[in-house]
Amino acid sequence: MPETFLLIDGENIDATLGAGVLGRRPAPEERPRWDRVRDYARSVWEQPVRGLFFLNASGTVPMAFVQALTALDYRPVLLSGAPDVKVVDVAIQRTIEALAERGHGDLLLASHDGDFAPQVAQLAQQPGRRIGLIGFREMTSGLLTEIENVELFDLEDDVGAFTVALPRIRVVPIEQFDPWVLLN
């Protein structure tokens, strides 16, 4: 049975939202609604989704957030390691490599990080695989966006993961330009 593996790089999404979009720590209402991301992942290729949410748990484990993720049908992947090891990146890289070895399963990766480009590119070469990236288009690494056969889904515009409009500065295709956004 076809299945989508939704891998969430929680640190990367949060850091990009805070530093890249807002310029500060996001308020609770400015954070993604992870249930919407999961639902979008199910609908994009119309198949079941296995949501894996990767978190660095080397310090304090945010148990309330972990419980919320579990209630939203995600599997929290809590990782620890030496301070100089990017444990979330290593775990996601290994998971994509294992998915490639598995021989079947589609991938939706929520991250902007170019460190995953070699693994995503390897998976994209396998016939019959569907691969997508979820994030802010303008902040996604070119190493990822240049990989052939990879779809890009904007976390705000396509996925609808937010309940408030974000103050993003981005290129708007003319066919999507709405002057009323500027006038209201």
Which domain CATH number covers 39? Answer: 3.40.50.1010
Listed residue (51, 54, 21) closest to 162, CA to CA:
21
What is the mean pLDDT of the segment spanning 138-163?
A: 95
Of 48-57, 70-79, 120-129, 170-179, which range is least confident? 170-179
Residue 12 C-alpha from the chain's centroid: 8
- Report the range of poorest mean pLDDT among 49-58, 125-134, 166-175: 166-175
pTM of the entire predicted model: 0.91
Average pLDDT over residues 65-87: 95
Q: Per-residue confidence at 62, pLDDT binned at 50, 70, 90?
A: confident
What does the pLDDT read at residue 123?
A: 96
In angstroms, rounded to a whole number, what is the distance separating the alpha carbons of residues 121 and 21?
A: 27
Mean pLDDT across the chain, nearest whole number?
A: 93
Picking from 4, 3, 2, 1, the residue whose alpha carbon sits closest to that of residue 133 is 4
* Whole-number pLDDT of residue 61: 83
Q: What is the mean pLDDT of residues 130-149?
A: 95
The interaxial angle of helices 87-102 and 117-124, nearest 10 deg, is: 10
Q: CB-based burial of residue 67 (10 Å sphere; 0-12 exposed, 13-18 middle, 19+ buried)? A: exposed
- Torsion region of 153: left, alpha or beta (phi above 0 gives left; psi -120 to 50 gives alpha): beta
Does the pLDDT value for residue 38 go beyond 90? yes
Q: What is the pLDDT of residue 181?
A: 78
Domain that holds residue 145: 4-183
Count of structural domains, the chain: 1
What would the two tokens of residue 183 be?
């006038």
Does 168 have pLDDT greater than 90? no
Q: What is the pLDDT of residue 78?
A: 95
Task: Give the burial string for 101-132 (b: 16+ CB within 10 Å, else e).
Answer: eeeebbbbbbbbbebbbebbbebbeeeebbbb
